[in-house]
């Protein structure tokens, strides 16, 4: 059995979701009320792979919203309580979706293994980041040529290069894909130098100069919603893989030779029959989902009940290939530019 721990992308969205699901008390509640709300197991579903294998899983809403990020104890309690609920529900492998894996790492939750009478078993959880990184790399490899970008001549900027997903993407694009040059963007200098040393290459740049040079930009950092991008200064064509939260680059820069693709999203081969992705603003919510969630499904399909993605900057190319093969085998496909987006190329 697989599990998915998620959250709404804003307090406003959480209240809307609560109203839709008939939780009127929550829909009317203020942020303080939400801070003390326990996690909710909202949905149980059955999923069948093209191989014929069928698995069952549950979606748990942690009742966390990004507005709680500054409240350390609340954020910690939300994630740990959701993990406890997953374990007590007998779920074998659960993905920590969205901010929950970042809270787990950044707030060092490994030291809080005992939740009331439950000793959390880490082997039951995965961040899902190996699959997310693999999907983002496939999105680069498949879509860049479609918009006229030759990767072996392209400069690829990775914004969030030193992160768990970003560092894996850098390794893959350099060693597996063979892009012409990696532009490494993050705020802290030391991890950037370490990454550059590990890769044996890549150029460290601030965001603005990197954007002015990059043919492809992979966004794998949570950036402020107020971030301004001067579309006029971007090279054309330019492919942007929007892998962070919130995924709002299409409203900022798409058009006139700048192609924006939601990053780290996969499409399943058939309808899943669930409600949860309706509120995540997927174009096809019955089939599309976050790659980190899909990783829990893949681990369950394969009976790999282990914390496949765990800790920070441990993702290997071998594990990316392994989860990538499982992804294809079980009917997932990385989201690509739509015929409508590609059709508009003719007029660019």
Site string for ligand NDP, 139-178 (x = CB under 6 A): --------------------xxxxxxxx------------
Candidates 34-42, 184-192, 277-285, 299-307; binding stretch for ligand NDP (CB under 6 A): 184-192
Assess contact for 184 and 203: CB atoms under 8 A: yes
Candidates 174-182, 183-191, 196-204, 328-336; binding stretch for ligand NDP (CB under 6 A): 183-191
Candidates 16-24, 68-76, 99-107, 252-260; binding stretch for ligand NDP (CB under 6 A): 99-107
- The answer to whether residue 1 forms part of the interface with ligand NDP (CB under 6 A) is no
- The answer to whether residue 182 forms part of the interface with ligand NDP (CB under 6 A) is no
Nearest distance from residue 312's CB to ligand NDP, in Å?
6
For ligand NDP, the closer of residues 26 and 253 by Cβ is: 253
For ligand NDP, the closer of residues 179 and 291 by Cβ is: 291
Dihedral angle computed from the Cα positions of residues 310, 315, 321 and 322, in that order, rounded to the nearest 10 degrees: -30
Check the CA dihedral 295-8-168-153 and report its sign. Answer: positive
Q: How many residues bind ligand NDP (CB under 6 A)?
A: 32
Site string for ligand NDP, 252-291 (x = CB under 6 A): -----------xx-------------------------xx
Both tokens assigned to 338? 């739509």
- CA-nearest of 246, 5, 276, 251 to 128 is 5
Candidates 51-59, 70-78, 181-189, 271-279; binding stretch for ligand NDP (CB under 6 A): 181-189
Nearest distance from residue 98's CB to ligand NDP, in Å?
6
- CA-nearest of 266, 257, 220 to 239 is 257
ω into residue 198 within 30 of 0, thus cis? no
**109, 173, 292, 315: which one contacts ligand NDP (CB under 6 A)?**
292
Nearest distance from residue 101's CB to ligand NDP, in Å?
6
The DSSP output letter for 39 is P
Sequence length of the chain is 348
Q: What is the Cβ-side half-sphere exposure of residue 156, based on CA atoms within 13 angstroms?
A: 33
Nearest distance from residue 131's CB to ligand NDP, in Å?
8
- The answer to whether residue 132 forms part of the interface with ligand NDP (CB under 6 A) is yes
- The answer to whether residue 221 forms part of the interface with ligand NDP (CB under 6 A) is yes
Instruction: Enumerate residues 6+ apart whose C-beta is below 8 A from 117.
Output: none
- The answer to whether residue 129 forms part of the interface with ligand NDP (CB under 6 A) is yes
Pairing of strands 54-61, 2-6: parallel
- The answer to whether residue 186 forms part of the interface with ligand NDP (CB under 6 A) is yes
Nearest distance from residue 276's CB to ligand NDP, in Å?
14
Both tokens assigned to 240? 């942007």
Check the CA dihedral 326-329-335-337 and report its sign. Answer: positive
Positions that interact with ligand NDP (CB under 6 A): 98-99, 101-102, 129, 132, 159-166, 185-188, 191, 220-223, 243-245, 263-264, 290-292, 312
């Amino acid at each position: 059995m697989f599990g998915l721990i998620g959250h709404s992308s804003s307090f406003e969205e959480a209240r809307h979701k609560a109203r839709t699901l008939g939780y009127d008390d929550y829909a009317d509640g203020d942020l303080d009320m939400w801070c003390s709300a326990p996690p909710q197991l909202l949905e149980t579903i059955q999923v069948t792979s093209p191989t014929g294998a069928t698995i069952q899983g549950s979606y748990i809403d942690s009742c966390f919203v990004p507005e709680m990020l500054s409240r350390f104890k609340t954020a910690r309690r939300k994630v740990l309580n959701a993990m406890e609920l997953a374990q007590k529900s007998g779920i074998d492998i659960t993905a920590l979706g969205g901010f929950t894996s970042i809270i787990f790492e950044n707030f060092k939750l490994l030291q809080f293994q005992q939740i009331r009478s439950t000793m959390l078993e880490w082997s039951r959880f995965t961040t899902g980041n190996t699959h997310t990184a693999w999907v983002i790399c496939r999105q680069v490899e498949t879509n860049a040529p479609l918009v006229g970008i030759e990767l072996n001549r392209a400069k690829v900027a990775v914004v969030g290069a030193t992160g768990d997903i970003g560092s894996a993407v850098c390794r893959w694009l350099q060693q597996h894909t063979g892009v012409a040059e990696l532009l490494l963007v993050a705020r802290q200098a030391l991890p950037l130098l370490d990454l550059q040393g590990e890769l044996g290459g890549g150029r460290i740049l601030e965001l603005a100069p990197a954007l002015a040079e990059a043919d492809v930009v992979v966004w794998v950092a949570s950036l402020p919603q107020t971030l301004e991008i001067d579309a006029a200064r971007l090279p054309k064509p330019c492919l942007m893989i929007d892998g962070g939260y919130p995924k709002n680059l299409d409203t900022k820069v798409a058009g006139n030779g700048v192609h924006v693709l939601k990053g780290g999203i996969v499409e399943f081969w058939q309808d899943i029959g669930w409600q949860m992705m309706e509120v995540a603003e997927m174009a096809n919510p019955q089939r599309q989902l976050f790659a980190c969630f899909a990783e829990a499904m893949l681990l369950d399909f394969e009976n790999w009940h282990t914390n496949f993605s765990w800790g920070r900057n441990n993702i290997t190319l071998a594990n990316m290939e392994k989860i990538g093969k499982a992804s294809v085998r079980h009917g997932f496909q990385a989201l690509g530019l739509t015929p409508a987006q590609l059709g508009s190329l003719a007029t660019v």
